A and B are shown apart, each in its own frame.
Chain A
Amino acid sequence: MGMFGKEKKACMQGPLLFGFHGGLQLQPNKRALQNSTDPITELEAPHELVIPLLDYNKNSIAPQVELNQHVNRGQLLAAGIIAPATGQVMAIEPRHIIHPETIKANAVVLEVDKASDNQSVHMANQANHDSTAWDTQLSAFLNMPDNVLQQSALYGLGGAGFPTASKLDAALGGIQTLIINAAECEPEIACDEALMQTEATHIARGIDALVQLTQCRHCLLAIEDSMPAAIDAMSAALKSINAQVKLTVIPTIYPTGAESSLIQTLTGRFIPHNEKPSDHGIVCFNVATAYALYQAIGGKALDSRVVSLGGSAMPNPLNVRVRFGSSVEAILLATGNASVINTARLRAGGPLSGFDLDTPQVPITAQTNALLAEPCITETPAQPCIRCGECSDVCPAKLLPQQLHWYAMSDDHEKCQQLNLDACIECGCCDLVCPASIKLTQSFRYAKSKAKHIAQHQQKTLDAEQRFALHEARVAKRKQEKAHAIEQRKQSLKARSKPQSDQIKAALERAKLSAKSKKPR
């Protein structure tokens, strides 16, 4: 526990490593890699794919396809979202999304055309093996990176799912250190490890492309010491293409894979939560993102990912490559894990940072790195805090979870802000060590989302006030204009009637005169 600084382990190329506060040494428990001889099993696209029309901030975006339209694999469905398979748009309607609570979002429902989809797989595989084309493809990419980035809909595959193009945009120019994150520190998750074992050369090329694109001064690939096979594979692959990448073996401590912890481990720099690594000349990409970039440069958009199936109740744990939009249910059925659907507690993401699923009828996204099945057990109810301080010892963000929990539960958002709640990375270390089984992380998630909601509401209120003021001003202006117009009309009528009366007077006078002149007669 938290012995990082004291216990520096022997590293491959002997770099200096810095510690970070807290963290836990957990059993890796990577079941997904234990049983199978093949690290990654390719799954065929299921009958139906559901692609939610949401952007990175979970806001709804408009579809660019129509009902019953035939779409090709890689075709744009909406801004930044592509079709993961060839097929027909069967519906554009609200569907359940992968989420801690059952929630719907507008989604494109795709009926996969198996025959033409298999053909697209075959063509993609052929393109992959054509290595002579790589150099031309790479130089084309380096000349016009935007083309590839726009077409391939790249998202970070580490778990947060940040759009890669935006990250690269911020990173271009002024990047000193490029960090490739292959720490994969959370138990049960083994998708990056499996990918490194099977696709090392391609990953190395992807990393090399990132190095050349960002023109960074140095590039570090960080792998935890618990994955020797991946370390060997990557080391050989980097050497074979002579990439300017330093492979750094780091101790297995959770949550080293969190961006802030990894940067601190490798560079000794602490980046406050409200600053971006690129402000400090650092940019991080997940190792699977580097692989996705390699594929994108070769013309294959990001439409699938490796998901680790694990957890103590999973009968057939393994790593599978699945298309985005495949339902959890379809994945479990296709891998011989159907029995867990009604008997186990299903979880998306890791055992610490993930969340439980209410239903398996939800589609996976770029963020879904693992699906776990755990036995249904009644949770131990929370006991009163005994103030042991274990939670603050393990917190990688150097927070005071025990105090924060108190303020979070009493809805004191000001105090939460003062104690820097926003810096919490929701790693779950505090939950794991709490002897009183207090749900600290959930209270922090609650307080953070509540604070966000309050801020949104305040903004809405301010906007309404402003629009009301504009509305009132417009109504008043119109009223004034109308009054002015009426006044003007009155004036002009008066002005017009004046000569008329003059004419009448003159006529009357003429009449009088003529009457006078007639009288003597």
Chain B
Amino acid sequence: MSTFGVIAVVALTIIVLIAMGALLSYLSRTGSEKHADPDAELIEAVNAVLPQTQCAQCGYPGCRPYAQAIIKNDEPINRCPPGGEQTIEQLSTLLGTPVLALDTSCGQQKPEQVAVIKEDICIGCTLCIVACPVDAIVGAAKLMHTVIADECTGCELCIPPCPVDCIDLIQPEQTAASWQWPKPAS
């Protein structure tokens, strides 16, 4: 093989390698642009621990905004009454921060509850439908509204706007589908 040939092969190899390097660095840059927020994964993990009641008792308009505040603004992890101790413990394990007592200025932990509309009193004002963060109330203007019990998170946000005070919170009844075998005495 001539000297020229050897030089040509070496030069070609170098050009190809440079081109590949440039391409790879471009690809990795465009790839990382999608994950612009380095905290996104952590926010996702915190959000997964929160009970998704969307009750806003923490002072944020939902569970995801609170998760964002915990990561971005160092908001304390004890501001979620529906999650209670269990959620605080899970968050402290996840974030490596100390376990705190529930901040009772946000509210008290309550047993599982669902909203029920007294249908004979309801005037069909739609205010509760607007207030419900999880679209669990159905109805139309001047027609009776009702709560889809399976979808209600018991967040209580529908209670204050009701002008005729026709929404109650009750503990969901035990059904054949939700029943659990009791734990035997050990």
Q: Identify the A interface with B (CB < 8 A).
A: 52, 54, 57-60, 97, 99-101, 103, 105, 381-382, 409, 439, 442-443, 445-446, 448-450, 452-453, 456, 460-465, 467-472
Contact = CB atoms under 8 A, between A and B. Distances in A.
B180 A470 contact: no
B181 A464 contact: no
B9 to A, nearest CB: 57
Contacts of A58: 175-177
Interface in B156-186: 174-186
Could you say which of B53, B132, B135 has the most chain A C-beta atoms within 10 Å of its C-beta?
Answer: B135
B76 interface: no
B47 interface: yes
A467 B151 contact: yes
B126 interface: no
B186 A471 contact: no
Contact of A99 (B132, B133, B176): B176
A464 B179 contact: no
Contact of B175 (A100, A103, A382): A103
Contacts of A100: 181
Given A463-B151, A464-B134, A465-B52, A409 B186 contact: yes
B58 to A, nearest CB: 14
Given A54-B176, A103-B176, A471-B135, A465 B63 contact: yes
Interface string B130-143: 00111110000000
Interface of B: 47, 51-54, 62-64, 132-136, 150-151, 153, 174-186
A103 B179 contact: yes
Could you say which of B132, B151, B153 has the most chain A C-beta atoms within 10 Å of its C-beta?
Answer: B153
Contacts of B182: 101, 442, 446
Contacts, number: 83
Given A468-B52, A468-B133, A471-B133, A449 B151 contact: no
B135 A470 contact: yes
Nearest to B51: A461
Contact of B181 (A57, A59, A97, A446): A446
B133 A450 contact: no
Given A461-B52, A464-B134, A97 B176 contact: yes
A101 B179 contact: yes
Contacts of B176: 52, 54, 58, 97, 99, 103, 105
Nearest to B61: A472
Nearest to A470: B135
Nearest to B176: A58
A465 B181 contact: no
A58 B135 CA distance: 26
B174 A468 contact: no
Nearest to A101: B179
B179 A99 contact: yes
Contacts of B64: 465, 468-469
29 contacts: A54-B176, A57-B177, A60-B177, A99-B176, A103-B174, A382-B184, A409-B184, A439-B184, A443-B183, A445-B181, A446-B181, A446-B182, A446-B183, A448-B181, A449-B179, A450-B181, A456-B178, A463-B151, A464-B52, A464-B53, A464-B151, A467-B134, A467-B135, A467-B151, A468-B133, A468-B134, A469-B64, A470-B135, A471-B132
A382 B178 contact: no
A452 B180 CA distance: 9
B52 to A, nearest CB: 4
Contacts of B186: 382, 409
Could you say which of B51, B52, B174, B179 has the most chain A C-beta atoms within 10 Å of its C-beta?
Answer: B52
A464 B186 CA distance: 36
A452 B174 CA distance: 15
Contacts of A52: 176
Given A461-B52, A465-B47, A453 B62 contact: no
A278 B179 CA distance: 30
B48 to A, nearest CB: 9
A103 B176 CA distance: 7
B81 to A, nearest CB: 16
B91 to A, nearest CB: 15
A409 B177 contact: no
B180 A105 contact: no
